[in-house]
Amino acid sequence: MSATVQTNHHPLAELWHYRHLLVSLTVRELRIRYKQSLLGVGWAICVPLSMMLIFTFVFTRAVNVVAAMNIDIPYALFAYTGLVPWAFFATGLNSSVNSLVNNRSLVTKVYFPREVLPMSAIGSAFVDFVVASTVLVGLVAYFHFFTDWNFNPSPAILFLPVVVVVQIIFMTGLALILSMANLFYRDVRQILSVVLQLWMFATNVVYPLKPDESLIGRAVALNPMTPLIGAYRDCLIKGQLPDSASFIYATLVAVALLVFGWTCFQRASYQFAERI
């Protein structure tokens, strides 16, 4: 029993050919999300900003634990530089997990590289991420001019694109696996929303993490999101390059996941139209 389908296109060449579809789908997703909404893309700012305000209030006013955190930058900056990349991560995954299932008519009626669907979900989350990041300029300026904290620009900020790319690679690998799994078993999206909640608190998003030698501590140390979020703070706020060992580890995990996810996705994509 064998079946072969011969074409003169490599899957990557095929994906490259359909790059405009990726852009169109991303734009479509953004347009649909923000059409008939008063604030529009402003919501991309409001969500992480209000989260930042809540955590700042809780951790400094309700229970003052910030002092015990031992962080050398204002807590609001610390929280916002964690919450914005995390929102990108969580939104990207939550929308990509449904991307194949929600586009059923496309998947069953038209051929195109199916990777484009989860990738465009990440693409639209990325636009939100960029918009939300602009607020950081205002926040840094506020703390620089109105508090005794001083911002020291450093060439380390040039490393920022590398951090963003590694996060996108990591997310794409996950998104390919999750969207495919959700096509076969719709439980995946439910599980994902719970896992993401838990994952956020196992990451240095709103507090620093110092993994100890306990079993939980070792498990937390394996989380590649912690070095990534640390890297954002390092090169944006602290003006230093991230810790190389942990950042290389995160990069390797991200690349391995993308290769694995993409291979599985390629193999399974022929079944999508039948199983969706």
Partner 1 sequence: MANGSVQLQDVSKRFYRGTAHDTLRDLLASGIRRLTRRGKPKTRDSFQAMENVTFQINPGEAVGLIGANGAGKSTALKIISRIMKPDTGTITTRGRLTALIEIGAGFHGDLTGRENVYMNASVLGMRKPEIDAKLDAIVAFSGVEAFLDTPVKRYSSGMQARLGFSVAAHVDPDVLLVDEVLSVGDVLFRQRCVDHMQKLVNNGTALLFVTHHLEQMQSFCSRAVVIDRGKIIHDGHTTDAVARYIDALKNGETSKTQATTQTVARVTGLVFKDKFNRETLTTHAHDTIDIDVRYELAKPVTNLVVEIDIRRDVGSRLANFSSIRDNVTFNTPKGAGCTTLKLPALPFLGGQYFFRAILRDPDSGNTIADTDYRFSLFIEDDDKGTGVLCLPHEWQSNNQPQPDIQHDIQHDIQTEQHANALP
Residue 148 is classified by DSSP as: S
- DSSP state string for 186-236: THHHHHHHHHHHHHHHTTTSSS-----SSHHHHHHHT-THHHHHHHHHIII
**Is 65 in a helix, a strand, or coil?**
coil
Task: For the CB of residue 120, give the shortest distance to partner 1 in the complex, in Å.
Answer: 11
Contact between 151 and partner 1 per CB under 8 A = no
Contact pick of 12, 13, 28, 130 for partner 1 (by CB under 8 A):
28
Give yes or no for a contact between 166 and 251, defined as CB atoms under 8 angstroms apart: yes
Distance of CA 56 to the CA centre of its chain: 22
**Judged by CB under 8 A, does residue 10 bind partner 1?**
no
Here the contacts of 249-253 (C-beta below 8 Å, separation 24 or greater) are 249/224, 250/166, 250/170, 250/224, 250/225, 251/166, 251/169, 253/170, 253/224
- Minimal distance in Å, beta carbon 30 to partner 1? 11
Assess contact for 253 and 225: CB atoms under 8 A: no
Residues 178 to 197 in contact with partner 1, rule: CB under 8 A: 184-187
Residue type at position 145 = F
Told to check if 110 binds partner 1 by CB under 8 A, we report yes
CB nearer partner 1, residue 12 or residue 256: 12
Least distance in Å: CB of 47 to partner 1?
A: 21
The answer to whether residue 104 forms part of the interface with partner 1 (CB under 8 A) is no
| Shortest Å, Cβ 11 to partner 1 | 11
Least separation in angstroms between residue 109's CB and partner 1 is 4
- Interface mask (CB under 8 A) for partner 1, residues 201-230, using x and -? ------------------------------
The piece of 75-83, 109-117, 130-138, 163-171 that touches partner 1 (CB under 8 A) is: 109-117
* Per CB under 8 A, 273 contacts partner 1: yes
Which one of 41, 73, 106, 136 is in contact with partner 1 (CB under 8 A)?
A: 106
18 forms part of the interface with partner 1 (CB under 8 A): yes
Identify the CA nearest to 265 among candidates 239, 169, 158, 257: 257
- Residue 21 in the binding site for partner 1 (CB under 8 A): yes
Alpha helices in 110-186 (DSSP H): 116-146, 160-184
Residues of 219-238 as b/e, b for ≥16 C-beta within 10 angstroms? ebbebbbbbbbbbbbbbbbb
How many residues bind to partner 1 according to rule CB under 8 A? 39
Question: Helices 225-233 and 160-184: crossing angle, nearest 10°?
Answer: 150
- Taking contact as CB under 8 A, which single stretch among the options 22-30, 91-99, 171-179, 201-209 is the one that binds partner 1? 22-30
Site of interaction with partner 1 (CB under 8 A): 1-8, 17-18, 20-21, 23-25, 27-28, 31-32, 35-36, 103, 105-112, 184-187, 270-271, 273-275
